[in-house]
Amino acid sequence: MDKDGRRLFYGSRQTFCPSSPAYREAALRIAGALAERYADHPAVAMWHVHNEYGCHNPACYCDESAEAFRTWLRARYGDDLAALNDAWGTTFWSQWYYDWAEIIPPRATGAVPNPTHQLDW
């Protein structure tokens, strides 16, 4: 899903969700199999598992990614929503959060988005 909430469909590239447990499990399995197969191959000096990281769609904004973001924020701010509000300066323009579930990944806004929200994302 892109930052405007549009679901990305098969037929192009980078339409995966890095927060998806199924994707992460498959990626780990595939990368592990490649590493085992080519670890000692004399013609391989180095390799990587992707191409142009974040080139077209640098992040996923789906519900799983949003939940992973909230989990990360809770760890970062010690499960203290007041600490997050203070760090993000949410009193400016009345952007205060009262519940972790209210926090979503940054989206397009009518004015300047909260820079600390974007940096944490």
Q: What's the Cα-to-Cα distance from 3 to each of 77, 103, 121, rounded to whole Å?
A: 24, 14, 12
Q: What is the pLDDT of residues 42-60, one digit of tens each?
A: 999 988 877 776 677 778 8
For the chain, the C-alpha Rg in angstroms (whole number) is 18
Q: Is the dihedral of CA 51, 47, 29, 20 positive or negative?
A: negative
Q: Nearest to residue 47, comparing CAs of 63, 30, 61, 71?
A: 30
> What digits encode the pLDDT tens for the residues 24-43?
999 999 999 999 999 999 99
Residue whose structure tokens are 């010690």: 78
Percent pLDDT > 90 in the chain is 60
pLDDT digits (tens, 9 = 90+) for 60-83: 899 999 999 999 999 999 999 999
pTM of the model: 0.78
Between residues 3 and 65, the one the model is more confident about:
65
